[in-house]
Structure 1
Amino acid sequence: MSRDPRLVEPQRVQPGHGSHGGHEAPYDPLRLCVFATVALLGWLLGPVAVVVFALVGFVGYWQARRGGLLRSRCKLGDTRLVLVYLAVVAAAGGAGIGLGWWVW
């Protein structure tokens, strides 16, 4: 059976080689790439992206809270606060969409 060519193994430093001396894997700044992509989508799509991302986050936190998650790694901590924050962000994005249509 052949391997799926879309699955790529990350390159690893061989033990005893590289700047880390083989003791730990090199830092992968994946989050920075994700942040840049989200920022780009926000810039291109404007308030629509704000509403979409806020609603996706809201649904995710709602399901997590119903599943028993009370504290999040989010800076706000309490999942109720995170839900309120995401609802306000979605409303602000909706207002931005509404004002955009009003101005046109």
Structure 2
Amino acid sequence: MSEFAHLNQRDASVGDPAPPFDPLRLCVYTTVALLTVVLGPIALLAFSSLAIAGYAKARRRGLLRSRCKLGDTRLVLAYLAVVAVAAAVATPFWVAFWVQWWT
């Protein structure tokens, strides 16, 4: 058995292996989608409001370009504001639908 002991040794010249890919973002996206399905426009309003607060703070601190496809943070903030207003308008209709459905 000792004649094969040298085969199970780490070669220091190779270096450390790359860490395995962690698809955490996919889990986060799934959770956000689930919350949106369950809570409807209420979740959309909450997430868009959170994003508006984050982008506004980042813009005040000097972020002018975002990695978002829209690029300019003013466009991102305008987009998020439109989504938030649409969600706020849709919320009473969504609540009324579910109240009517349950009764």
Q: TM-score, normalised by structure 2?
A: 0.75
Q: Does 1:59 align with 2:53?
A: yes
Give the match's secondary structure for 2:32. Answer: helix
> What residue in structure 2 maps to residue 30 of structure 1?
24
> What residue in structure 2 maps to residue 74 of structure 1?
68
> What residue in structure 1 maps to residue 3 of structure 2?
none
Gaps of 5+ in 2: 1-9
> What residue in structure 1 maps to residue 5 of structure 2?
none
Give the match's secondary structure for 1:95. Answer: helix
Q: Identity, % of aligned pairs?
A: 55
> What residue in structure 2 maps to residue 50 of structure 1?
44
Cα deviation, residue 46, structure 1: 0.5
Cα deviation, residue 102, structure 1: 5.5
Length, aligned pairs only? 86
Gaps of 5+ in 1: 1-14
Higher relative contact order (CA 8 A, sep 6+): 2
Cα deviation, residue 23, structure 1: 3.5
Q: Is the 8 A contact 2:49 2:84 kept in 1?
A: yes
Q: Which is greater in Rg?
A: 2
